[in-house]
């Protein structure tokens, strides 16, 4: 359970965003603190070098003004020596000499360095520690001054300055992280509200989600969810209607079978008994046909696309279906008409055979015995069509739009149809990227077809 919670937390957008923002902020603060530390330390050292230069000039001025009392000057300067414990005032040691480098005056702890050294800053070793020394020559050239400080003490002072400059950043970091957490949580609140809305819904509530207060980044998700809810609601409505219609359609043949069975049980006449048994067989056949069609639709409805697809020669497919179709003796032979090349599509041959058999079955059952039935495969204006045409009476114009509805049978149709054949044909057409079309012909008759609006694939030549 703990592993599952940790997995959910790692996948949480809030925690991923917080982790990313916090890591980026901490890296930025660390970089800022490091740069501030280096800059503060550098500025502190520059400031102390400036203090050395200023002290050296002051000593030159004091020496020039007290040439006759240099001993008293050394005593007075010793009284103003700073304490080593004061980080911001590291003790200053000095040596003063004449133009030839002769030593005139020095502090008690000053390093013994030749006063004749070149002017400028140098680093020396004194008592095992590094020292920063400045050699300065008076403008008149009569005096030389040498001032110095322990680099250890200078570094302590520079470190203190640098730490004090970084301390506010360090103290501000926890507050910044809290503000980031609050900002991310507040920014993601609309998503939490959306989650609560979805979680609080009952299975029957398929109304669209409100998108008014949803952030722009989540709008595509809400739109996609609303489309899904709309499709789900439509699917559930269709399933409820389909279930009700299926129950009604199966009730009729089963009732007929039951009545005819009772008639066969009660009648003593052999002719009446045989008629009742024939009706039982017919009712059973109709119920079987309805169940088969229902199962086929149940298999096709969930599909978003064809599971497998291959190149199909429609002319060869039509010949196979015609060869397997039983034709009553009183009917003229079925005709096959092909026009144009190539006559090939990419799809499922078994499903297309089902379509053609359903169209043929409708034509055989709903046209007079003398009517001519033609199975056609043709290409016209870069469109390919597969269908069945007859020269029968056609269909009433007001019923044409409803022919592909499930369980709909035209007013002229007999009672033995299931009303599912054309619905199956339309569903298979959708899976093949085709249109199912049905129309009365201008010269008389009826035509139902699948039409592919774009040029289909071409069969590979050779073998």
Question: Which CATH number is 6's domain given?
Answer: 3.30.450
Instruction: Give me the pLDDT at residue 401, please.
Output: 74
pLDDT of residue 387: 92
Prediction pTM value: 0.48
Please count the structural domains in the chain: 3
Cα distances (Å, whole numbers) of residue 37 to 42, 132, 153, 384: 8, 21, 18, 78
CA distance 121 to 147: 10
pLDDT number for residue 386 = 92
Task: Say yes or no: 126 and 222 in one domain.
Answer: no
Residue 117 tokens, joined: 């050294």
Residue 125 lies in a domain: yes
Q: β-pairing, 335-339 with 373-380?
A: parallel
**Whether residue 397 sits in one domain with residue 440:** yes
Nearest CA to 37 out of 198, 208, 162 is that of 162
Query: Do 123 and 245 belong to one domain?
Result: no
Parent domain of 406: 310-452
Query: Tens of pLDDT along 318-354?
Result: 998 888 887 776 677 688 888 877 788 888 888 888 8
**Distance separating alpha carbons of residues 82 and 96, to the nearest angstrom:** 19
Q: What is the per-residue pLDDT for 246?
A: 64
HSE (side-chain half, CA atoms, 13 Å) at 36: 17
Give the domain-ending residue among 282, 300, 318.
Answer: 300
55 CB-near residues (< 8 Å, 6+ apart): 92, 94, 147
CATH number at residue 231: 1.10.287.130
Residues (pLDDT < 70) of the chain are 1-12, 67-89, 99-101, 140-141, 238, 241-252, 290, 293-294, 296-304, 329-330, 333, 404, 406-419, 454-463
């Amino acid at each position: 359970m703990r592993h599952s919670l940790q997995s959910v937390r790692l996948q949480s957008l809030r925690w991923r965003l917080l982790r990313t923002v916090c890591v980026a902020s901490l890296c930025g603060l660390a970089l800022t603190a490091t740069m501030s530390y280096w800059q503060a330390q550098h500025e502190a050292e520059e400031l102390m070098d400036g203090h050395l230069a200023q002290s050296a000039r002051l000593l030159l001025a004091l020496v020039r003004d007290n040439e006759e009392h240099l001993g008293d000057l050394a005593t007075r300067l010793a009284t103003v020596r700073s304490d080593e414990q004061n980080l911001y005032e590291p003790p200053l040691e000095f040596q003063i000499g004449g133009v030839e480098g002769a030593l005139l005056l020095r502090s008690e702890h000053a390093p013994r360095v030749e006063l004749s050294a070149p002017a400028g800053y140098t680093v020396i070793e004194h008592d095992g520690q590094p020292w920063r020394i400045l050699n300065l020559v008076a403008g008149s050239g009569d005096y030389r001054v040498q001032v110095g400080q322990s680099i250890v003490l200078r570094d302590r002072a520079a470190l203190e300055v640098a730490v004090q400059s970084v301390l506010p950043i360090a103290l501000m970091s926890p507050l910044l992280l809290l503000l980031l957490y609050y900002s991310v949580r507040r920014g993601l609140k609309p998503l939490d509200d959306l989650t609560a809305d979805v979680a609080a819904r009952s299975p029957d509530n398929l109304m669209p989600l409100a998108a008014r207060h949803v952030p722009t980044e989540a709008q595509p998700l809400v739109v996609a969810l609303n489309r899904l809810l709309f499709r789900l609601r439509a699917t559930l409505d269709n399933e409820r209607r389909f279930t009700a219609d299926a129950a009604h359609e199966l009730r009729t043949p089963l009732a007929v079978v039951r009545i005819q069975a009772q008639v066969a049980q009660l009648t003593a006449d052999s002719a009446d008994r045989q008629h009742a048994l024939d009706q039982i067989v017919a009712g059973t056949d109709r119920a079987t046909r309805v169940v088969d069609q229902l199962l086929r639709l149940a298999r096709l409805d969930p599909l978003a696309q064809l599971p497998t697809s291959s190149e199909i020669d429609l002319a060869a497919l039509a010949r196979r279906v015609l060869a397997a179709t039983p034709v009553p003796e009183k009917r003229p032979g079925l005709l096959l008409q092909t026009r144009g090349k190539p006559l090939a599509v990419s799809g499922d041959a078994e499903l297309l055979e089902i379509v053609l058999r359903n169209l043929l079955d409708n034509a055989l059952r709903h046209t007079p015995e003398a009517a001519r039935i033609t199975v056609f495969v043709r290409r016209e204006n870069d469109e390919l069509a597969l269908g069945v045409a007859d020269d029968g009476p056609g269909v009433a114009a007001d019923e044409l739009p409803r022919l592909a509805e499930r369980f709909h049978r035209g007013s002229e149709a007999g009672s033995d149809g299931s009303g599912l054949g054309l619905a199956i044909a339309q569903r298979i057409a959708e899976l093949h990227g085709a249109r199912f079309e049905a129309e009365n012909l201008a010269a008389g008759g009826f035509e139902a077809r699948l039409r592919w609006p774009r040029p289909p694939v071409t069969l590979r030549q050779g073998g």
